[in-house]
Amino acid sequence: MMIRHGETEWTAKYLHTGRTDIPLNAHGEQRARLLEPILRATPGIESATVLTSPLQRARRTCELAGLGDRATVVDDLMEWDYGEFEGTRTADLRVADPTWSIWTAPVERGENLAAVGDRADRVVAILDTIEGMAVLFAHAHILRILGARWCGFPPIGGTRLTLDPASISVLGHERETRVIESWNRSPHY
């Protein structure tokens, strides 16, 4: 199970928020709290392995969802290092380049897509060693890429997956094949 962190001030403004460690806003905290009864009612949650990004927005979402005391920090769950694009909006960058995308732009002082894909692969390797359920708290792009890599798609496959703040996605298996069981479920609508 993968959970994107709740809303932050930057999320609400559609700013690329990679490694800037900003807190949830009030709305993000409220929505993160709504995850707790859903998770509590999930079969197997009591023995699930809980992993979280070290960034406070993910850790706080994990805490408000009721799993913070069981969480292990995994650095590979940190969001994409956007380098010079940190704090920018796609809409603003497209004024100069109408085709600009974080998925295809060269990132000079951060991570390229392949490097983020490598981190996602390391998380998949961790998941392969876990017996039972795992619950991950992280960020939109790393989770989108992780979903793509789980299914054997290249990291760019994450462009086809979107995640709302404080949403739940479930990765699983159909027999021996890795699948996405559900994606971007929101308890907030």
Residue 55 sits in a domain whose CATH number is 3.40.50.1240
Quote the number of domains for the chain: 1
Burial letters for 90-121: b for 16+ Cβ neighbours within 10 Å, e otherwise? eeebeeeeeebebeebebeebbbbeebbebbe
The per-residue pLDDT for 68 is 97
pLDDT at 188: 65
Task: Quote the pLDDT of residue 150.
Answer: 98
pLDDT, residue 56, reads 98
Angle between helices 26-33 and 56-64 (to 10 degrees): 40
Options 5, 16, 139, 141, the catalytic residue = 5
Per-residue pLDDT of the chain (189 residues; tens, 9 = 90+): 999 999 999 999 999 999 999 999 999 999 999 999 999 999 999 999 999 999 999 999 999 999 999 999 999 999 999 999 999 999 999 999 999 999 999 999 999 999 999 999 999 999 999 999 999 999 999 999 999 999 999 999 999 999 999 999 999 999 999 999 999 998 765
Q: What is the pLDDT, as a whole number, of residue 187? A: 75
> So what's the pLDDT on residue 186?
87
Q: Show the beta-strand stretches assigned E in 55-106.
A: 71-73
Find the domain containing 41 and state its range.
2-185
- Told to judge if 79 belongs to the known catalytic residues of this protein, a careful annotator would answer yes
Which of 7, 16, 63, 79 is labelled catalytic? 79
Question: Quick check: is 27 catalytic?
Answer: no
